[in-house]
Homo-oligomer: A and B are copies of this chain.
Amino acid sequence: MFHVLYSSVTRNSSFGEVVMIRVLFGLIALILILSAGAMGTVSEETQACLDCHSLYTPGIVEDWLSSRHSNVTVDQALELPRIERRVTNENVSEVLRSVSIGCYECHTLNTDKHQDSFEHFDYKINLIVSPNDCATCHSEEVSQYTGSKKAHALGNLQDNELFSLMVSTHTSVKNVSETEIGQLEASENAKNESCYACHGTEVIVRGLRTVETDLGDIEVLDLDNWPNQGVGRVNPDGSLGACTSCHPRHSFSIEIARKPYTCSQCHLEPDVPAWQVYKESKHGNIFSSIGSKWEWNSVPWVLGKDFKAPSCAVCHNSLVVNSEGDEILPRTHDFGARIWQRIFGLIYSHPQTISGQTSIIRNSDSQPLPTTFDGEIAAEYLISEQEQQSRQDDMKSLCRNCHGRTWADEYFVKFDSTVTEADMMVASATRLIMAAWELNLEDKSNPFDETIEFRWVRQWLFYANSLRYASAMSGPDYAAFKNGWWSLTENLQLMKDFIEQKQALRR
């Protein structure tokens, strides 16, 4: 911190000022150094890692040095009152309790489960620290996460025959002969770079390979589908997810995880415009304007004091308390757990799924979807009306810390009405595409590869999602001209025109 403070003070100073400031800082530094206990106690093994890696991967080492892991031991972490704790397992084994959480402590856990375990300068190291390893100390968080849709994000695409058809249709190279378009098989790479970059890849250990280094030849792992930090990554120990998706990489920062920029890596337009809608909302406006002055690292997170307007984390997962320290909402790492309805990704909105594994769903038309094309929900896979109401009530109780009764109540009435209308606009597009199929204007076998089918997907995946998000977080442009009502209406006209033209040309 000293470095940062010194820099911020001297940045705009004249040479004369700098001299004086140096003297002042020198004195303070002396006091601090004398009283400082340095960075916890680094284990011998981690020290060995640091000795080399501070030369070879200084970025990793510096990042770790700035982390809580390097500065606080488990014993210290558990001394805090329960509501201030970040460590949820009270029974961490003795050997890990009084040392800094360093390289060795994390990269050698549960080695027997890790196919990515390998010999590295006399240590047996796992390349990937998985959620299962993090659960050593953060057991509740991992337990919540593991059952969530995020953890199953890869399987929810790959094991759903409709979605996997959509993925392979859109990520495959097309070749052209005369004026006909053919389709090659989609490469793993193309999927990894697009859909699976967010959803996660299955990391596969191919074996070892030898590389030349300044220290001579060494063996490193040879991996498929790597690198990847998707939320549903299938790790070489079989666990699901990557904590680094949101807590990147060796700072394990809660600040970064809480900043909406993190969520915005994947939740962005045109298909999931959460970030863009938030940014143009009043909440986002306040965040952008004064958020840099807020306290992003405190646990628990005090509404009104630490932050003045909600960000993604406030509503969807953080432990939030009021000025008196009373809990408003508990922490959850199942990011769907507070939400009653699902407003994106699927054709129609629907109640949240009971299981995070959505590929098991079958609707009454035997499709792997939570609703039929007519909008009938697959109720047995979805949470009950009672549970929906309970979740909405909890969310409303958060809103009411800053908004009056009528404001909060009417907000959700608006939202319900808009979601219903968005679904109606999708239903109209669905009727048009079904007409096109029935009239044999397009081929139904792959519903994702012809012109009018692209328009149909736009209607639910881009435009209806935009309208629903615009309502959920009050970003009116996405309800209007930016992929909202305007696009929903224009797109229907284009679908109708397309059908008329095809019919006319056929005659």
Which A401-427 residues sit within 8 Å CB-CB of chain B? 401-407, 410-411, 414, 417-418, 421, 424-425, 427
Residues of chain B contacted by A37 (CB below 8 angstroms): 14-16
Distance of A479 Cα from B194 Cα, bound (Å): 5
Residues of chain B contacted by A83 (CB below 8 angstroms): none
Number of copies: 3
Option from B66, B187, B286 in Cβ contact (under 8 Å) with A256: B286
Residues of chain B contacted by A501 (CB below 8 angstroms): 501, 505
Interface of A is mostly: helix
Contact (Cβ within 8 A) B259 A281:
no
A74 to chain B, nearest CB (A): 14
A362 within 8 A of partner (CB): no
Specify the chain B residue showing the minimal Cβ separation from A470.
B193
Contact (Cβ within 8 A) B57 A32:
no
Contact (Cβ within 8 A) B14 A4:
no
Contact (Cβ within 8 A) A482 B269:
yes
Residue-wise, chain A 192-203 has the 8 Å CB interface mask toward B (1 for contact) of: 111101100000
Contact (Cβ within 8 A) B425 A174:
yes
Count of chain A residues near B, Cβ 8 A: 161
Distance of A223 Cα from B403 Cα, bound (Å): 15
Specify the chain B residue showing the minimal Cβ separation from A261.
B288
Option from B31, B261, B493 in Cβ contact (under 8 Å) with A449: B493
A170 to chain B, nearest CB (A): 5
Residues of chain B contacted by A386 (CB below 8 angstroms): none
Contact (Cβ within 8 A) A220 B405:
yes
A270 within 8 A of partner (CB): yes
Specify the chain B residue showing the minimal Cβ separation from A484.
B194
Beyond A59-B402, A181-B493, A496-B181, is A280–B265 a contact (Cβ under 8 Å)? yes
Option from B15, B229, B271 in Cβ contact (under 8 Å) with A71: B15
Distance of A179 Cα from B436 Cα, bound (Å): 9
Residues of chain B contacted by A52 (CB below 8 angstroms): none
Contact (Cβ within 8 A) A428 B181:
yes
A19 within 8 A of partner (CB): yes
Specify the chain B residue showing the minimal Cβ separation from A221.
B406
Contact (Cβ within 8 A) A417 B189:
yes
Contact (Cβ within 8 A) B432 A176:
yes
Option from B189, B268, B470, B494 in Cβ contact (under 8 Å) with A280: B268
Beyond A265-B285, A285-B256, is A62–B308 a contact (Cβ under 8 Å)? yes
Beyond A58-B323, A482-B269, is A11–B402 a contact (Cβ under 8 Å)? no
A226 within 8 A of partner (CB): yes
A248 within 8 A of partner (CB): yes
A435 within 8 A of partner (CB): yes
A5 within 8 A of partner (CB): yes
A204 within 8 A of partner (CB): no
A445 within 8 A of partner (CB): no
Contact (Cβ within 8 A) A481 B450:
no
Binds B, one of A90-98, A293-301, A335-343, A351-359: A293-301
A352 to chain B, nearest CB (A): 22
Contact (Cβ within 8 A) A36 B58:
no
Which A64-97 residues sit within 8 Å CB-CB of chain B? 66, 71-72, 76
A282 within 8 A of partner (CB): yes
A104 within 8 A of partner (CB): no
A251 to chain B, nearest CB (A): 7
A327 within 8 A of partner (CB): no
Residue-wise, chain A 2-16 has the 8 Å CB interface mask toward B (1 for contact) of: 111101011111111
Which 6 A-B residue pairs are closest in the complex by CB-CB distance? A62-B304, A59-B402, A16-B36, A197-B476, A1-B12, A16-B37
